[in-house]
């Protein structure tokens, strides 16, 4: 059963930002799909089971950005 979670990422300004976030979050264990909307900052994470939001937040921070909060 797949699980989808959405987050808002602060600080992204370009396509490279989006690529960095997708790469880092995509490397989190269990994550099967990552979609990032630059205009809204919306990050949609699909996984094959629940993924702790702290792990997603850590991946976003590794890319150089931060979560505005979970929606």
* pTM confidence score: 0.91
Helices marked H in the chain — which ranges?
A: 15-26, 53-62
Domains and CATH numbers, the chain: 3-70 (3.30.70.100)
Residue 49 CB-half CA count within 13 A: 2
The per-residue pLDDT for range 34-45, each reduced to its tens digit, is: 999 999 999 999
Q: State the residue for tokens 């089971």.
A: 49
With bands split at pLDDT 50, 70 and 90, how would you rate the model's confidence at 12? very high
The per-residue pLDDT for range 16-29, each reduced to its tens digit, is: 999 999 999 999 99
């Amino acid at each position: 059963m797949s699980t989808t979670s959405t987050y808002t990422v602060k600080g992204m300004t370009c396509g490279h930002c989006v690529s960095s976030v997708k790469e880092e979050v995509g490397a989190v264990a269990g994550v099967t799909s990552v979609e990032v909307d630059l205009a809204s900052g919306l990050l949609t994470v699909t996984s094959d089971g629940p993924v702790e939001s702290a792990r997603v937040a850590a991946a976003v921070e590794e890319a150089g950005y931060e979560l505005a909060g979970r929606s």
